Amino acid sequence: MNYNVRGENIEVTPAIRDYVEKKISKLERYFTETPEAKVNVNLRFNQDKTSKVEVTIPLPNLVLRAEETNVDMYGAIDLISDKLERQIRKHKTKVNRKFREKGEFPITFTASENTEVQDIDDEELEVVRTKRFDLKPMDSEEAILQMNLLGHNFYVFNNSETNRTNVVYKRKDGRYGLIETH
């Protein structure tokens, strides 16, 4: 894995970089071979004296992403490493179960028993409600207004400029994001 570690309001020292790489590289044990992935790590020191770590690892058919805030940068790195490991174990369990049912073996994840894998309830991934609606053509500003009127934290719409399905969402920082489809 290739690491891209950058800092906002903090200097990324060799010690911090080594610690990030050491903690994230432990995730490699879950894969049959080390994935060719670019690990994007953003370290930030906030004005409220907390440290925030964001990690994104795009893999084939899976994007691992997590963020954590802690009073200590190293503590935040530990927490994010644990969070990413839980994501991998959860995904691995589901993928391995599907391959067992088909009589095949997973290509991406290891089948070794030395990694603790907790089975996840199928109920956790069960769709409990389906909604159908027509997508009204609008721009992103109108979509944000509609989202806020409904009291939702995301809104799906047909972008009138691109004629593609888009999603606007409210971010944790109170601002808005836009997801565009290809």
Q: Are 84 and 24 in contact (CB under 8 A)?
A: yes
pTM above 0.85, yes or no: no
Is 137-180 in the same CATH topology as 2-123? Answer: no
pLDDT at 123: 55
In tens, the pLDDT along 142-158 reads 999 998 888 889 999 99
2-123 maps to which CATH number? Answer: 3.30.160.100
In tens, the pLDDT along 83-122 reads 998 888 887 777 666 666 665 554 455 554 444 444 455 5
Residue 156's CB is within 10 A of a number of other CB atoms, namely 16
Alpha carbon of 135 to those of 71, 166, 179: distances in Å? 43, 10, 15
- Give the HSE-up count for residue 126: Cα atoms under 13 Å, Cβ half-sphere: 6
In tens, the pLDDT along 42-75 reads 999 888 889 999 999 887 767 888 999 999 999 9
Domain spans, the chain: 2-123, 137-180
Query: What would the mean pLDDT of 166-173 be, rounded to a whole number?
Result: 93
Q: Are 167 and 178 in contact (CB under 8 A)?
A: yes
pLDDT at 116: 46
Confidence band for 178, pLDDT divided at 50, 70 and 90: very high
The CATH T-level fold of domain 137-180 is SHC Adaptor Protein (3.30.505)
